[in-house]
A and B are shown apart, each in its own frame.
Chain A
Amino acid sequence: MTSLFEYAPAPESRSIVDIRPSYGLFVDGEFTDGTGTPLKTVNPATEEVLSEVATGSDADVDRAVRAARRAFVKVWGPMRPADRGKYLFRIARLLQERAREFAVLETLDNGKPIRESRDVDVPLAAAHFFYHAGWADKLEHAGLGPAPRPLGVAGQVIPWNFPLLMLAWKIAPALATGNTVVLKPAETTPLTALLFAEICQQADLPPGVVNIVTGAGETGRAVISHPDVDKVAFTGSTEVGRAIARAVAGTEKRLTLELGGKAANIVFDDAPIDQAVEGIVRGIFFNQGHVCCAGSRLLVQESVHDDVVAALQRRIGTLRVGDPMDKNTDLGAINSAEQLARIRELTAFGETEGATCWQPDGDLPDRGFWFKPTVFTDVSPAHRIARDEVFGPVLSVLTFRTPDEAVAKANNTTYGLSAGIWSEKGSRILKVTDQLRAGVVWANTFNEFDPTSPFGGYKQSGYGREGGRQGLAAYLRSDS
């Protein structure tokens, strides 16, 4: 990308992290071999193979579930709640102490900019453990009756977009409420979960309380369909969520799903444009747009459309796309060749269907998986790029004239995870917020997360909440 001046490279050193040539599964407190065919995990920015990781077969998953059950019955269940909390506090501290190591490893394995893994993913993961640690001995105050009880063994499957953060979102509440877990990380991003296993060892967490079984779809299926799993928690695509809901139907297993989204980011004509543009950029280009709650549908009031689009394109022209390990990088690599192909396929539809595609000038690195920040204008609500989740740095711009039309267009989706509103008028923000069918609404900001704030979707974006008092319900049985 040409620019008035170039920043000198500011690379983060990778020497802080030792990546082993191969990793096993973490079962019953130890690293063990997996009996499936090992998989290779690559750095999406360079296509360099980082490590070989074991794959859990049905038998391995069974071993992990047995270990989790044993730990639940013998150790974790009977333990004093305050002590469970202390283990979680220890984990939170250990994560903070090794924050830089986790950030570097996350960026190498996932392709996200080091700025984001360092400032968002890792600190938030630690915050989730801190927050839930405090709940462990206060569950009778959670509003779920006087004596809520854990469910047992939780089988958890998480995606590749926020590997460590999603792990924290799943494991922290499960452990705080007295459950034990078998977690399957995504096949393209298993490394920080395996480093987390070391944290569990350093914390002296009793064996079997946390088990990490790496692998792909088959391993995930084995985890969710294991008969001795009491609770299934999944974050990922709506398509897989449907299959999981079907698989769990008719069983006693409890289920929560955090699925896709197609968030509307609504800009009213009285919004401060520069601030809104920052929010739009943050909404869609954060984490390369690999965000289920990404603001992928920009709804701009017609009277300011041209100004907003011009300011947006100017701003996008200053974004730095490239080496994720460089601290100046804004957009890193697309997580996998597969995801890159999917983004290309969906954006191709955009042009075929008549929308106008815009990308900034500049070159992309020769190796690795890359996609330029992309803006589609002249988009109509029927276009696939306005309906399907692209899960990449691709923004669709639509217009509206009245608040009612904005709400109608925003709600015109099968999803309902998040939305954004940009306006100076507080009464308008509250009215529109009230009418939007979405689980999270950001006013004059976007993509904010906090463990105290419950997160989750309406409609086909899933069910259940993560975080806050409301999120605890997913892991507790209660009499009221």
Chain B
Amino acid sequence: MSDRLTVRKTYKLYLGGAFPRSESGRTYEVLDSRGHFLANAAWASRKDGRDAVVAARGAFPKWSGATAYNRGQVLYRVAEVMEGRAAQFAEEVAAGEGLSAAKARAAVDAAIDRWVWYAGWTDKLAAVLGSTNPVAGPYFGFSVPEPTGVVAVLAPQRSSLLGLVSVLAPVLAAGNTAVVVSSKERPLPAITLGEVLATSDVPGGVVNLLTGDAAEIGPWLAEHADVDAVDLAGAPAPLAMELERSAAGTIKRVLRAPAEEPDWSADPGLSRLRPFLETKSVWHPIGV
């Protein structure tokens, strides 16, 4: 056993491509599955949430305007960098979720594979969900899927990495930008994912990761007029209903919370891509 004193990591938010502390100066204790201290994480505030929305809105034109090929490349790059940090992810998942080393590693592998799967969707969505419309008239009509905009994601509470990736990757693959509130008890993989995103060519502001309490930040995001959609994956039942009601005020798209946290290893199909896509139908006259 070496007597070297380890360098401990200070955990911060990932916001607009940078790693600030919470503007509120608050932190909270993160414990492992047995209740031992792991770290202090930044406890994001309402203002951090607002800053995150501003960053996400600012990043939207560039990310949604990038070619599908480019978005796919960038997302695949995230998987590459995740692979290189798989051991760190596995350690954090094991500590937070109380999994054996082998099971934690399997969850990390699944998360990376899931990311790759979504990376491959960017340039296929238009073909699979779009259409040309044989309208009864001299028009060329076509429909294309487009991203909804800024999506607020309340990440699953239990599955700290596979669950997080399962809800975040489809939002990005569809061309949206995201404000994510991580699992409250198990935020460490989210923070590490932020470091991965920051070094993976994902433009700053495309993903903003807040560690903290969905019950505290969620209502502000659900009401925010510049948030276009909410994914309530990680919201417990009474909160989910309240947020859905708030979201109605601005006609946000809502992906409802499942009754209980699902098995994230199941094939998601298009179920998490469709809710964050709009369909634009275009009519152009045909003539000479």
Contact = CB atoms under 8 A, between A and B. Distances in A.
Interface string B217-238: 0000000010010000000000
B133 A453 contact: yes
A443 B251 contact: no
Contact of A452 (B128, B135, B244): B135
A74 interface: no
B129 A143 contact: yes
B279 interface: yes
B247 A245 contact: yes
Contacts of B285: 443-445
B141 A145 contact: no
Given A444-B285, A450-B133, A439 B279 contact: yes
Contact of A259 (B251, B253, B254): B251
A270 to B, nearest CB: 15
Contacts of B70: none
B139 interface: yes
Nearest to B134: A452
Contacts of B244: 249-250
B136 A458 contact: no
Contact of A439 (B247, B249, B253, B280): B280
A448 B135 contact: yes
Most buried by B among A238, A243, A246, A453: A453
Interface string B238-259: 0011001101111101100000
Contacts of A444: 284-285
A242 B251 CA distance: 6
Contacts of B249: 242, 246
Most buried by B among A257, A443, A462: A443
Contacts, number: 113
Nearest to B269: A480
A40 interface: no
Interface string B249-278: 111011000000000000101110010001
Contacts of B67: none
B133 A448 contact: no
A450 B278 contact: no
Contact of B283 (A414, A442, A463): A442
Given A429-B284, A441-B281, A442-B283, A473 B274 contact: yes
A441 B278 CA distance: 13
A453 B143 contact: yes
Contact of B282 (A443, A460, A463): A443
B279 A450 contact: no
A455 B283 contact: no
A226 interface: no
Contacts of B135: 448, 450, 452-453
Interface stretch (A25-33, A98-106, A168-176, A464-472): A464-472
A437 to B, nearest CB: 8
Most buried by B among A249, A429, A462: A249
B271 A450 contact: no
Contacts of A143: 128-129
Contacts of B134: 452
B250 to A, nearest CB: 6
B25 interface: no
B269 A458 contact: no
Contacts of A145: 269
Contacts of B240: 250
Contact of B251 (A440, A445, A453, A460): A460
B245 A453 contact: no
Given A145-B269, A242-B251, A453-B141, A127 B280 contact: no
Nearest to B229: A463
B131 interface: yes
Interface in B123-172: 128-129, 131, 133-137, 139, 141, 143, 148
Interface string A422-456: 00000001000100101111111100101011111
B245 A249 contact: yes
B280 A245 contact: no
A459 interface: yes
A465 B279 contact: yes
A479 interface: yes
A243 B282 CA distance: 30
A445 B274 CA distance: 29
A468 B143 contact: yes
Contacts of A245: 247-248, 251
B248 A127 contact: no
Contacts of B133: 450, 452-454, 468
B287 to A, nearest CB: 9
A294 to B, nearest CB: 16
Nearest to A469: B131
B279 A242 contact: no
6 contacts: A443-B282, A444-B285, A450-B133, A453-B281, A462-B251, A470-B131
Given A242-B248, A463-B251, 10 more contacts: A143-B128, A245-B247, A245-B251, A257-B251, A441-B280, A450-B136, A454-B279, A465-B279, A468-B133, A469-B131
Which 9 A-B pairs rank lowest in CB-CB distance, beginning with the nearest? Answer: A480-B269, A250-B241, A245-B248, A249-B244, A450-B135, A249-B245, A453-B133, A246-B248, A460-B251
Interface of A: 127, 143, 145, 238, 241-243, 245-246, 249-250, 257, 259, 414, 429, 433, 436, 438-445, 448, 450, 452-456, 458-463, 465, 468-470, 473, 479-480
